Structure 1
């Protein structure tokens, strides 16, 4: 029987104003960045359910029973407010479960969790994402900063393996470059396996009966450039992390 994985996030909408002399007009577009990581995980033998950002406020699981259908939950570029402020709570002042607390409890009861980096991961752009101020901080193998945590590297920066581990078994020493990442701090509760510019890049940890991991850059552009997405080891990277977490 296939193990099921839930991915939430990795989508966005853009609304653009075009000015042409006296006149202006507007265009809008909806885009997803989940394709590469979703394909990699499916090719590794997992069944993937995907919830884009605009559906997550209502459709991300509210109960432990729903979460336990999954062997792993992945949050990628989705802010904590999207999970905390369900429409009924924000618009109608109705109490709903704290889904950040739910993820923490899910891990401690034996589930697995992966946070992938981006402008709306960890602490995030303008410190708006703020997972370090939620219960999820207790099941992360790194510590989130209290400020905007983006480490922008337009010149490119290359990850370095610092510890052998089954989650990254078979990956080469030479990696493609990245254009940025979320800066975090190592903790005693986690193992840093790969660093980037001296900061955690891939880290893992065990919490209660479950496991969690972080990948502190994008799984796709813009921080994850085509050189990474098209890397011959891209699929193997995600397979190794998921196999370790759900073992």
Structure 2
């Protein structure tokens, strides 16, 4: 029996700390949330062995080397900023010298690994440019070139994706796609394939880097940019199975 393929998802978590002001008095509440469920379910249904690291876990436990990443057939970065991977707590707090994990991702892809970057406020460049992937080693192996500032395209009125190229990633997905509420603006690299667009901008771009493959999905895999109509869409699971499978060499 063949072992299931393995994928590492890093990110898709956040903590909200709120101040409730009631006249003279106030109190605070803190809530931790994860948005990985829709994506994880889609991949597990497709036979993937999914390993999930929320952002605060990835800060410490994301692999340090390309060899360690080779435990996985594909790596997904979703709404997790470059600083979370660069600034390990032992480096940030204790000034310890450690490997650059963005370099590890680049070298893993070039040696045959798969990489998927999913859009959000902390991937690509994100809100106020705080994603910080522009100019990094990860950008070297993405199929897209990133802007050097806040790259969000908020579309509260909704924008409908359009498939513009035949590709294994979207094989078997027919009919109109549900709308999205935003995405990150990017430019496809010359040797990459733009598979789907939102307006005049790329939504899904696939390409090769060395012996590996990478895919950029510039919108979200969960709310808020991906509303319920999108994550509950009949093509959602097939889409993510296609994206991650292709990145891993399918």
Mapped partners of 1:182, 1:238: distance in 2: 18
Corresponding residue of 1:9: 11
Corresponding residue of 2:210: 208
Mapped partners of 2:56, 2:225: distance in 1: 22
State the Cα deviation string for residues 18-46 of structure 1 (Å, max 9, x = none). 01111111111000000000000010000
Question: 1:131 is paired with a residue of what secondary structure?
Answer: coil
- Residue 219 (structure 1) aligned with residue 221 (structure 2): yes
Corresponding residue of 1:94: 96
Give the CA deviation at 1:173.
Answer: 4.0
The number of equivalent residue pairs is 247
**Alignment check: 8 A CA contact 1:109 1:209 kept:** yes
Give the CA deviation at 1:243.
Answer: 2.0
**Alignment check: 8 A CA contact 2:143 2:215 kept:** yes
Corresponding residue of 1:188: 190
Mapped partners of 1:75, 1:129: distance in 2: 11
Corresponding residue of 1:62: 64
Give the CA deviation at 1:133.
Answer: 2.1
1:229-244 mapped onto 2 (5 Å cutoff): 229-244=231-246
Question: 1:56 is paired with a residue of what secondary structure?
Answer: helix
Cα root mean square deviation, aligned: 0.8
Mapped partners of 2:207, 2:95: distance in 1: 36
Mapped partners of 2:67, 2:30: distance in 1: 37
Mapped partners of 2:25, 2:93: distance in 1: 36
Mapped partners of 1:243, 1:110: distance in 2: 13
Give the CA deviation at 1:233.
Answer: 0.8
Mapped partners of 2:58, 2:122: distance in 1: 14
Mapped partners of 1:199, 1:173: distance in 2: 20
**Alignment check: 8 A CA contact 1:160 1:173 kept:** no
User: Which one of 23, 34, 37 corresponds to residue 36 of structure 2?
Assistant: 34
Question: 2:128 is paired with a residue of what secondary structure?
Answer: helix
Question: 1:81 is paired with a residue of what secondary structure?
Answer: helix
Normalising by the residue count of structure 1, what TM-score does the alignment of the two structures yield? 0.98
User: Which one of 132, 135, 138 corresponds to residue 133 of structure 1?
Assistant: 135
Question: 2:154 is paired with a residue of what secondary structure?
Answer: strand
1:134-213 mapped onto 2 (5 Å cutoff): 134-213=136-215
Moved over 3 A (4+): none
Question: 1:132 is paired with a residue of what secondary structure?
Answer: coil
Mapped partners of 1:163, 1:96: distance in 2: 42
Mapped partners of 2:235, 2:34: distance in 1: 22
